[in-house]
Amino acid sequence: MLWFLEEKKGLAIGGAIACLVVAGAIKWSQRERDIFPPETGFFCVVTGDVFWIDPMKTTTCPMPNPKTGERTLLPYERKEDGKLYIRERYTRLVNYLKEVNKYVDPETFECRRP
């Protein structure tokens, strides 16, 4: 085979690999993060307190309680019945916090206030 064809083949393979790396980096940068709308409230499973936290200051759940510093805050939503419930995406964390949970029903995920 002619040398210049082999060189082009190598460039094509290198270019394809570079495109895959760039596409992967773009996809990774757009991954789903814990981003909450401004009206999101956080419920403490230990104290039953409700906190409003700036969405720009949120990291990952459970969030730290501003009073205690312990990671016991989960985002909630108010349903049509007027009650508070842990947001569906974070219900698995209720089980993670089961040792300290006092105010969230582990089956319905309803938040009970003290």
Q: What span, in angstroms and rounded, lies between the C-alpha atoms of 105 and 74? A: 13
**pLDDT at residue 113 in the model:** 86
> Taking the complete model, does pTM exceed 0.85, yes or no?
no
Under 8 Å between Cβ of 87 and 74: yes
pLDDT at 58: 74
Would you say residue 32 has pLDDT above 50? Answer: no
Q: Where are the domains of the chain?
A: 1-31, 33-114
Q: How far apart are CA 94 and CA 102, in angstroms?
A: 10
Mean pLDDT (whole number) for 43-66: 88
| Whole-number pLDDT of residue 84 | 95
* Section 24-37 average pLDDT: 57
Tens-place pLDDT, residues 57-96: 777 889 999 999 999 999 999 999 999 999 999 999 999 9
